[in-house]
Amino acid sequence: MQQLVGGHFRQQLWLTLMFAMPLIGSNLAQSSKQLVDAAMLGRYGVDELAAGVLAGMIFLITFVVGSGFAMAAIPLSAKARGSGLTWKVRRIVRMSFWLSVIYWLLLLIPLHHTETLLLHLGQQVEIAHLAGQYMSIAVWGIFPAISVMVLKSFFMALGKAKIILWATVLGALINVPANYAFIFGHWGVPELGIKGAAYATIFAHSLTLLTLVIYAMRDTVCRSYSLFSRIWRPEWKTLFEVFLLGWPISATLISEIGLFAACSVMMGWIDTATLAAHGIVLETAGFVFMIYLGFANASTAQIGFAVGSRDRNSLMLAAKACLALTGVTATVITLIFLSIPDVLIKAFLDVNSEEALLVLAIGIQLVYLAAAFQLSDALQIVALGLLRGLSDTRTPMLIAVFSYAVVGLPTSYYLGFKADMGGVGIWVGFVAGLSVAATLLLFRFRWKLKRVNFVDDDEAVKADEVAI
């Protein structure tokens, strides 16, 4: 199993980078599925691209919010492993899976009414209809997607990040030909348009899940945890523990992604070209966000392991290393966005049409604004990862609600419509919300760090309490 923490700063920088790189690669591969969907739908038709933006946002919200319980399993499992409690790791992962599946079942019926929801939100009839067609199929892909997140938390706690990378890359690679075949109708497959993108999504997530399950069953170290043995057996105390840590994470995710979703709806109020440009830039920003998320996930596992090992020095080193790497990465990405905004937009469009040129002009303006919030976006998600490693999720949830619902969303609406700034004004709200969140979360982590107290708790149980 990979070492998670080191003895001095340079060693910790290297360990963090080596641990985070497969996670970053996995996240980028995961995000590339949405990029491929957007790029191919953009070449199929602007209406399909706009509908894909809305439907993809709903899918993403559902998936990300449902991942809250899987994310809760990362620090809990890492802490249990650091304490030598193998049986506890097994229980945590199982109950995380239980909660994730229950969440998905509760949303099955509502997500089949996506078209009705979008019509009530003022979207164009044709766009809402296409988005509804996509979600009626893609909803079945949420189960494998959130199940993958649960298994990723297990592998992260064990320091086995490479299998996460290879499984996700495999799913991303199969997504490309699947989209090409199902959207455009090639290789004997009927032309399905936006519905084809939904089928490709299900196939890609299912293949990733199958790969991870097979590895967990065959790898010697993973088998020692008996992860799938009596998976139907409830562990109520552990389920409650995962729920208490996980629901604030889900609420935090709702606050942030809800801001972007609400702004996607507001973009649809303007016109189709603005919504399409917004979708392209949002997909691009979301793609690089996966790099920051990789550092955040690495920090959660490292901090959780240090807490379980009661190692204050390693905890401090892990935090500093992660923040340093994230700051450098965000600066580089900001410079890239500022240097080639037109290249980033053209990758999604057939620029031979007049409508595509309008999307390009709007999109370039939004790329500059995306560059403005890169550092804030990076620091806020990494600060959340550090705080989750300390099992601190409720106060960060309140910070997120304030930053995005009280600051970001009203700013977007006011500047976009009251100040007549349109899509640019809506994106300025992103910058405001993310900047406030990053500042407050970093202050919270600094405050929390001073109060870390390694004391025995009720996890230090006797060996005879171990259960299968």
According to the model, what pLDDT value does residue 334 have?
95
Average predicted confidence (pLDDT) for the chain: 83
Query: Is residue 2 in a domain?
Result: no
Q: What is the mean pLDDT of residues 369-380?
A: 92
Query: Is residue 295 in a domain?
Result: yes
Query: pLDDT digit string (tens) for 420-433?
Result: 888 888 889 888 99
Distance in angstroms (rounded) separating the CA atoms of residues 403 and 428:
13
Query: Is residue 166 in a domain?
Result: yes
According to the model, what pLDDT value does residue 404 have?
92
Cα–Cα nearest to 156, from 25, 316, 300: 300
According to the model, what pLDDT value does residue 327 have?
92
Residue 17 tokens read as: 């980078």
Query: pLDDT digit string (tens) for 54-89?
Result: 787 788 778 878 888 888 887 888 777 766 777 788
Q: Contact at 8 Å (CB) between 14 and 319?
A: no
Distance in angstroms (rounded) separating the CA atoms of residues 211 and 53:
28
pLDDT of residue 466 exceeding 60, the answer is: no
pLDDT grade, residue 468 (50/70/90)?
Answer: very low
Query: Is residue 3 in a domain?
Result: no
Q: Contact at 8 Å (CB) between 301 and 75?
A: yes
pLDDT grade, residue 7 (50/70/90)?
Answer: low
Cα–Cα nearest to 333, from 383, 300, 367, 359: 367
Query: pLDDT digit string (tens) for 175-231?
Result: 888 888 888 888 877 888 888 888 888 888 899 999 999 998 888 888 877 778 777
Distance in angstroms (rounded) separating the CA atoms of residues 111 and 128:
13
Look at 413-417, 433-437, 453-457 and tell me which has the smallest mean pLDDT.
453-457
Taken in order 275, 278, 284, 287, is the CA torsion positive or negative? negative
Query: pLDDT digit string (tens) for 317-368?
Result: 888 899 999 999 999 999 999 998 888 888 777 667 677 788 888 888 889 9
Cα–Cα nearest to 380, from 428, 311, 435: 435
pLDDT of residue 2 exceeding 60, the answer is: no
Query: Is residue 333 in a domain?
Result: yes
Q: Select the more confidently predicted residue: 166 or 452.
A: 166
pLDDT of residue 147 exceeding 80, the answer is: yes
Q: What is the mean pLDDT of residues 94-115?
A: 87
pLDDT grade, residue 438 (50/70/90)?
Answer: very high
According to the model, what pLDDT value does residue 376 have?
92
According to the model, what pLDDT value does residue 464 have?
34
219: domain range?
9-465
According to the model, what pLDDT value does residue 8 have?
74
Cα–Cα nearest to 59, from 242, 283, 276: 283
pLDDT grade, residue 434 (50/70/90)?
Answer: very high
State which H helix or E strand residue 367 sits in: helix 354-372
230: left (phi over 0), alpha (psi -120 to 50) or beta: left
Percent of the chain topping pLDDT 90: 17
Q: Contact at 8 Å (CB) between 393 and 245?
A: yes
Question: What is the Rg, in whole angstroms, of the alpha carbon atoms belonging to the chain?
Answer: 22
pLDDT of residue 121 exceeding 80, the answer is: no
pLDDT of residue 233 exceeding 50, the answer is: yes
Q: Select the more confidently predicted residue: 137 or 4.
A: 137
According to the model, what pLDDT value does residue 465 have?
41
Q: Using CA atoms in the order 159, 68, 248, 24, what is the torsion angle rounded to 10 degrees?
A: 50
- Tokens 């209406």 locate to 47
According to the model, what pLDDT value does residue 4 have?
53
Total number of domains constituting the chain: 1
